[in-house]
Amino acid sequence: MKPATKLETQPAVSPEALVRPEVLTMAAYHVADARGMVKLDAMENPYRLPEGLRAEVAKLAAEAALNRYPDPGGAELKRRLHAVMGVPEGMALMLGNGSDEIIQVLTLALARPGAVVMSVEPTFVMYRMLAVAAGLEYVGVPLRPDFTLDGEALLAAIERHRPALLWLAYPNNPTGNLFDRSSLERVLDAAPGVVVMDEAYHAFAGTSYLPELGRRPNVLVMRTLSKLGLAGLRLGFLAGPPAWLNEFDKLRLPYNVNVLSQLVCEAVLAHPDVLDAQARSLVQARGELATALAAIPGVTVFPSAANFLLFRIANAPAVFQGLKARGVLVKNLSGAHPLLADCLRVTVSSPEENRVFLEALRAAR
């Protein structure tokens, strides 16, 4: 029994002694338990693929070479994305296991000592989380109370902090709005580092910076298939000048997009009309849901160019619980940021699920 004795006499090393302090104070990204709920908290597309395409996916999965590593860079899938998304000639692509992974790769690549990562706030939380995890300074510049871009404040912050990396979600999450183009132009001209336009919701927005790629050497565009209907496959991509992407690609883990995701994404992107039609019906539903929501006394709905709506309602945390008790899960943003006091965010879903949500809300408020 000697080994046991030896083990006991070793000094205990606690995680607190070794894990970096910025990690110890971090909270893990919170995902609510949604079992049995009408799930309207994560901007998922409620629609599945049509029967024919599902059969094709089944066949691809059955015949896939699961014993082999995937294509390391996803060359075929990148070719398809280039064509389907209309990526300008001469621009490179990098694939990520979701766009979250791309945020991580860029953050690590630009993590020189003293470098600053910047965005607006409130915005997508992963920008901050991954910057802090990489030991970087993060500066969040507040939006105006109506969630429009405070161009002057952002320009002043850029001048002061000279960010190596600036994230701009277009449309923004969790607010749903598009920032004003003329303010953005000035910001893009002034930014001394890499600027990424995060277009996770492009399919619902009707506007994009993708066609402008190449006009400014430091501006990149990131997109994901998650909000478009393929959240389970985890595929994001970054488009931009090859000079930047060649550097970032060194930090991407080999084989980061698995065999099944590559095959299925290729197959679905061969029928872009399928996801486009679903997005169009969600845009239609967004208008109807916004109108119905705004008609409920005490509710303020904010303008959205995404597949979700942000709204303000008195006692939002209690309303959130009331919705949950009625089997409807939305996102409670009250407390996430002072500007989001009493705000809830709901995914735009099918007409049936939107009706269930509206009924639950009328009962819960």
Ligand X SMILES: *Cc1c(COP(=O)(O)O)cnc(C)c1O
Phi and psi at 312, nearest 5°, equal -110, 140
Using CB under 6 A as the binding rule, whether residue 224 contacts ligand X is answered as yes
Part of the chain binding ligand X (CB under 6 A), chosen from 2-10, 95-103, 249-257, 281-289: 95-103
> One-letter amino acid identity for 344?
L
92: nearest Cα among 252, 261, 259: 252
Instruction: Answer yes or no: are the C-beta atoms of 175 and 153 closer than 8 Å.
Output: no
Q: Give whichever of 56 and 100 is closer to ligand X, judged by the CB atom.
A: 100
Q: Give whichever of 45 and 226 is closer to ligand X, judged by the CB atom.
A: 226
Using CB under 6 A as the binding rule, whether residue 100 contacts ligand X is answered as yes
Q: Give whichever of 100 and 353 is closer to ligand X, judged by the CB atom.
A: 100
Burial-class residue 249 by CB neighbours within 10 Å (0-12, 13-18, 19+): middle
Helix extents (H) in the chain: 2-9, 15-18, 21-24, 51-63, 75-85, 99-109, 125-133, 151-161, 181-190, 242-248, 259-269, 272-294, 316-325, 351-364
What is the sign, positive or negative, of the torsion defined by CA atoms of 176, 182, 184, 187?
A: negative
Contact code string over 142-171 relative to ligand X, x by CB under 6 A:
---------------------------x--
What is the sign, positive or negative, of the torsion defined by CA atoms of 185, 190, 191, 192?
A: positive
Q: Give whichever of 123 and 334 is closer to ligand X, judged by the CB atom.
A: 123
| Distance (Å) of CA 314 to CA 71, 132, 291, 338 | 52, 33, 19, 15
Using CB under 6 A as the binding rule, whether residue 173 contacts ligand X is answered as yes
Using CB under 6 A as the binding rule, whether residue 46 contacts ligand X is answered as no
CB of 275 to ligand X, least distance (A): 14
Using CB under 6 A as the binding rule, whether residue 200 contacts ligand X is answered as yes
Helix or strand run (H / E) with residue 301: strand 300-301
With contacts defined by CB under 6 A, how many residues of the chain interact with ligand X? 12
> One-letter amino acid identity for 335?
G
Instruction: Answer yes or no: are the C-beta atoms of 210 and 239 closer than 8 Å.
Output: yes
281-300 positions binding ligand X, by CB under 6 A: none
Using CB under 6 A as the binding rule, whether residue 177 contacts ligand X is answered as no
Using CB under 6 A as the binding rule, whether residue 226 contacts ligand X is answered as yes
Q: Is the peptide bond between 142 and the residue preceding it cis, with omega within 30 degrees of 0?
A: no
Return the residue of 77, 81, 99, 115 that touches ligand X, per CB under 6 A.
Answer: 99
Part of the chain binding ligand X (CB under 6 A), chosen from 72-80, 96-104, 140-148, 320-328: 96-104
213: nearest Cα among 182, 245, 235, 186: 245
CB of 49 to ligand X, least distance (A): 18
Using CB under 6 A as the binding rule, whether residue 124 contacts ligand X is answered as yes
Q: Give whichever of 107 and 173 is closer to ligand X, judged by the CB atom.
A: 173
- Closest-approach residue to ligand X (CB): 98
242-281 positions binding ligand X, by CB under 6 A: none
Using CB under 6 A as the binding rule, whether residue 198 contacts ligand X is answered as yes
Instruction: Quote the tokens at residue 71.
Output: 């294509």
What is the crossing angle of helices 259-269 and 75-85, to 10°? 30
Q: Give whichever of 176 and 364 is closer to ligand X, judged by the CB atom.
A: 176
CB of 327 to ligand X, least distance (A): 24
DSSP state of 228: I
Q: Give whichever of 199 and 353 is closer to ligand X, judged by the CB atom.
A: 199
Part of the chain binding ligand X (CB under 6 A), chosen from 83-91, 92-100, 140-148, 155-163: 92-100
Q: Give whichever of 56 and 240 is closer to ligand X, judged by the CB atom.
A: 240
Using CB under 6 A as the binding rule, whether residue 121 contacts ligand X is answered as no
Using CB under 6 A as the binding rule, whether residue 236 contacts ligand X is answered as yes
Phi and psi at 229, nearest 5°, equal 130, 5
**Which spans of this chain sit near ligand X (rule: CB under 6 A)?**
98-100, 124, 169, 173, 198, 200, 224, 226, 231, 236
